[in-house]
Amino acid sequence: MIATLEIVDIIDRSEYIGQMILQSDVMEQYNLERQALKDDKEAQRLINAFITVKEQYEEVQRFGRYHPDFNSIMKNIRSTKRDMDMNEKVASFKIAERNLQTLLDDVSEIVARSASEQVKVPKDGAILTDSSCGCGSGGGCGCKAS
CB 57 within 8 A of CB 77: yes
CA-closest candidate to residue 86, choices 30, 117, 32, 47: 47
Structure confidence by residue, pLDDT tens digits, 4-27 = 888 888 899 999 999 999 999 999
Structure confidence by residue, pLDDT tens digits, 87-105 = 999 999 999 999 999 999 9
CB 25 within 8 A of CB 32: no
Q: So what's the pLDDT on residue 1?
A: 55
- What's the rounded mean pLDDT across residues 113-136? 65
CA distances from 28 to 20, 35, 95, 117, 123 (A): 11, 11, 13, 31, 22
Query: Where do the H-state alpha helices sit in 40-87?
Result: 41-61, 70-86
Please give the Cα distance from 84 to 98 (Å, whole number): 17
Burial class (CB in 10 A: 0-12, 13-18, 19+), 91: middle
CA-closest candidate to residue 27, choices 14, 18, 37: 18
